[in-house]
């Protein structure tokens, strides 16, 4: 008989909450569900905030959120799922960073808590009430945690860095055109 404890129940609740919210956000981007823009609308938005090409960025963001969130909720491939979702939320936080921390001002609060929850789950593991546990942790090995988080951190740094350079160059170009008038 398997005995589940408070930690397992807590990890299950955290996985369901964070994973469910992430999956819903990803579905907005990918499919236009829940009032989202789908690939087309999200792609246009991504272009407007410096993530280019927009459609590819929308697809990557949607897959990180929907895929990572769904896998987190199920407790399957937890290191990769948590890392992917955390990377997606780091990209979202970069967009909201100029607005400060709090969400009511357009800040990065929401993206930060989802990203940190996803990263925390990648590190802590899914608990015994998970598909990873039921499958003998085939997709949840100890070495996978630093590998998944490291690769995601590197890719996210490159993508967000390129986006930030584009935004900075655009602002500098707008300021120069003001002086030319």
Model pLDDT for residues 65-115, shown as the tens digit of each residue? 999 999 999 999 999 999 999 999 999 999 999 999 999 999 999 999 999
Q: Which tokens is 135 given?
A: 């499958």
In a domain, 169, yes or no: yes
Q: What is the pTM of this model?
A: 0.91
In a domain, 80, yes or no: yes
In total, how many domains does the chain have?
A: 1
Residue 1 pLDDT level (bands cut at 50, 70, 90): very low
Provide DSSP, 123-169: HH---SSSHHHHTTTTT--TTHHHHHHHHHHHHHHHHHHHHHHHHHH
Which structural domain, as residue segments, surrounds residue 152?
Answer: 7-180
In a domain, 126, yes or no: yes
Q: Report the alpha-carbon distance of residue 129 to residue 19 in Å, rounded.
A: 15
Contact between residue 91 and residue 52 where contact means Cβ atoms under 8 Å apart: no
In a domain, 2, yes or no: no
In a domain, 98, yes or no: yes
Residue 177 pLDDT level (bands cut at 50, 70, 90): low
In a domain, 1, yes or no: no
In a domain, 84, yes or no: yes
Q: Report the alpha-carbon distance of residue 168 to residue 178 in Å, rounded.
A: 16
**Average pLDDT for residues 152-181, to the nearest whole number?**
87
In a domain, 172, yes or no: yes
């Amino acid at each position: 008989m398997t005995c589940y404890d408070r930690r397992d129940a807590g990890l299950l609740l955290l996985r369901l909450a964070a994973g469910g919210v992430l999956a819903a956000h990803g579905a907005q981007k990918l499919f236009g569900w829940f009032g989202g823009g789908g690939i087309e609308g999200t792609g246009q938005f991504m272009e407007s905030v410096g993530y280019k090409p927009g459609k590819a960025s929308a697809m990557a963001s949607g897959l990180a959120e929907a895929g990572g969130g769904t896998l987190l909720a199920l407790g399957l491939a937890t290191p990769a799922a948590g890392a992917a979702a955390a990377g997606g939320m780091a990209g979202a936080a970069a967009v909201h960073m100029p607005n400060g921390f709090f969400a009511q001002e357009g800040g990065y609060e929401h993206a930060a808590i989802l990203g940190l929850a996803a990263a925390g789950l990648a590190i802590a593991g899914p608990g015994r009430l998970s598909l990873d546990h039921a499958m003998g942790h085939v997709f949840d090995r100890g070495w996978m945690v630093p590998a998944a988080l490291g690769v995601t951190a590197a890719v996210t740094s490159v993508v967000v860095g390129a986006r930030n350079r584009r935004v900075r160059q655009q602002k500098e170009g707008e300021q120069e055109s003001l002086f030319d008038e």
